[in-house]
Amino acid sequence: MKLNAPFLNAPAWALVALISVNAQATPNMPPAAQTKPILITGATLHTVSGATIINGRMLLEGGRIVAIGASTAIPDNAAVTVIAMPGKHIYPGLIAANTALGLVEVEAVRATIDTAETGAVNPNSRALVAVNADSELIPVARANGVLAALSVPRASPIGLIAGTSALLQLDGWTWEEMGLVPEVGLHVTLPSMRLNAALYPNLAPARLEDMQRMVNQRLRVLEDALDAARAYANTRAAEPKTPIDSRWESMRPVFAADKQRPVFVTANELPQIRYAIGLAERMGLKLVIVGGMDAALIADLLRERQIPVIIAGVHRLPMRRGDDTNAPFSLAARLSEAGVRFCIARSGSEFDAATERSLPFEAATAAAHGLAADEALRAITLYPAQILGVAERLGSLDTGKLASFFVTDGDPLDIRTNVERVFIQGRELELTDRQTKLRQKYEQKYLQLNATKK
């Protein structure tokens, strides 16, 4: 994304804060690419896509899984590094399907935030080029098994079309190295459509009508933009020499006949979800609902249209006073029971970027409220990979997929479990981060103070 204009006029304290943050960039260095085959033995392999393999063997070569099973053979004439992991558990890397990772560092420091552009229509804004590969938040998320993340541009307060997201592997020297899929989908945010009089009992009817008129105007701007982009795409297809408009050019893949780029629409309210479905049908869009707090109320239609839902946070409050208190916790179970494709993510807010490591605990809460445990695990591994179009590379432990996985001493949905080792494309990464170093620092501090008192 382009550098936001407010930065250019930032006060001195903001610039100092930015320099301070940059000076504290993560010291973790990405390891070199895997050059020798690695054979892992003795661990329990949770493939996610199939049966769990107890005392399994997994062969890694060239950053990919080349063999997996109970009796994987060592290749002939190969100098294989054997790593024995008896009693350990191996899981495919978790995928955070709705994050601001890489686009924000310190929420309270405006100069470290590059999540949104000004204006309402910014389809040519790209999240990948704004990613800070040195972010301190990346190793924190990685240390709890989150090894891939969809970095999503946000709409400004008046925004509608925010731009394109990027799927990152959480390791690399630069944003180019981190970009597994440079452009995943176009992101659209709808205005709130809950404008009935019961919600605003003290608001004058005329003011409520003004609010409704403003919502309708914003939706008209959105539809006009999509109409213009579709007309541009058709014109360019018929006449390639048509002058290029960077905004509409970036939206051509949304209207492509093959390999159509999905449109991620943030919609929580029932009217928003209905509008998004209708809009996708009229415009011929490949729709993904993000948020989906009311998705269970329209589950039959979502299942019929094969529209997936990215649940944007399980740990949240109900949307209405009359909703069950556990409605957000049980949403995943209700969608699963209804046959709706879904995955579990977090809210994607600037605040939540610092706590993406909590992703498995969102799934654990869903499991505690009706979602089967194996489905909860798939909801943060295989299912997001399928929705984001990378299931051939990520989401499970299968032959041919990237060797991106983590090693634990138990169930990753259990908060007591420790992540002990992490591999991305066959390279083992160190698990130190700013938080672990601060913990070690203050543990040492109080040990020394106690020793002095004695």
Residue 59: CA atoms inside 13 Å, Cβ hemisphere, count? 17
Q: What is the CA radius of gyration of the chain?
A: 23
- 378 and 426 in a common domain: no
- 407 and 270 in a common domain: no
Mean pLDDT in residue range 110-118: 89
The band of 338, judged by pLDDT with boundaries at 50, 70 and 90, is very high
- Checking if the pLDDT of 19 tops 60, the result is no
Burial of residue 174, with CB atoms counted within 10 A of its CB: 0-12 exposed, 13-18 middle, 19 or more buried: exposed
Task: Describe the crossing of helices 327-338 and 359-368 by its angle, rounded to 10 degrees.
Answer: 80
Whole-number Å distance between alpha carbons of 17 and 375: 43
Amino acid at 196: N
Is residue 336, in this structure, part of any structural domain at all?
yes
Domain with 417 in it: what CATH number?
A: 2.30.40.10
Is residue 449, in this structure, part of any structural domain at all?
no
Is residue 145, in this structure, part of any structural domain at all?
yes
Whole-number Å distance between alpha carbons of 215 and 186: 21
The band of 72, judged by pLDDT with boundaries at 50, 70 and 90, is confident
Lowest mean pLDDT among 72-76, 163-167, 363-367: 72-76
Say if residues 254 and 186 touch (Cβ distance below 8 Å).
Answer: yes
- Checking if the pLDDT of 5 tops 50, the result is no
- 343 and 246 in a common domain: yes
Count how many domains the chain has.
2
- Checking if the pLDDT of 14 tops 50, the result is no
- 154 and 58 in a common domain: no
Domain with 247 in it: what CATH number?
A: 3.20.20.140
- Write the CA distances from 253 to 149, 230, 389, integer angstroms: 22, 10, 14
To the nearest whole number, what is the mean pLDDT of the chain? 90
The band of 305, judged by pLDDT with boundaries at 50, 70 and 90, is very high
Give, for 429, the enclosing helix (H) or strand (E): strand 427-429
Residue 301: CA atoms inside 13 Å, Cβ hemisphere, count? 15
- 86 and 101 in a common domain: no
- 173 and 58 in a common domain: no
Amino acid at 371: L
- 204 and 257 in a common domain: yes
The band of 10, judged by pLDDT with boundaries at 50, 70 and 90, is very low
pLDDT of residue 295: 97
Is residue 445, in this structure, part of any structural domain at all?
no
206: domain range? 1-20+94-391
The band of 25, judged by pLDDT with boundaries at 50, 70 and 90, is low
The band of 135, judged by pLDDT with boundaries at 50, 70 and 90, is very high
Whole-number Å distance between alpha carbons of 169 and 146: 9
Lowest mean pLDDT among 163-172, 301-310, 314-323: 314-323
Cβ within 8 Å of residue 116, ≥6 positions away: 1, 4, 153, 154, 155, 156, 159, 162
Whole-number Å distance between alpha carbons of 368 and 348: 23
Is residue 35, in this structure, part of any structural domain at all?
yes
Amino acid at 234: N
Amino acid at 213: R
Sheet (strand 342-345) strand order: 161-164, 186-189, 263-267, 287-291, 309-312, 342-345
Condensed to tens digits (0 to 9), the pLDDT of residues 371-411 reads 999 999 999 999 999 999 999 999 999 999 999 999 999 99
- Checking if the pLDDT of 4 tops 70, the result is no
- Checking if the pLDDT of 202 tops 70, the result is yes
- 416 and 307 in a common domain: no
> What tokens does 260 get?
């159509």
Phi-psi bin for 408: left (phi > 0), alpha (psi -120 to 50), beta? beta
First to last CA, the chain: 57
- Checking if the pLDDT of 47 tops 90, the result is yes
Amino acid at 439: R
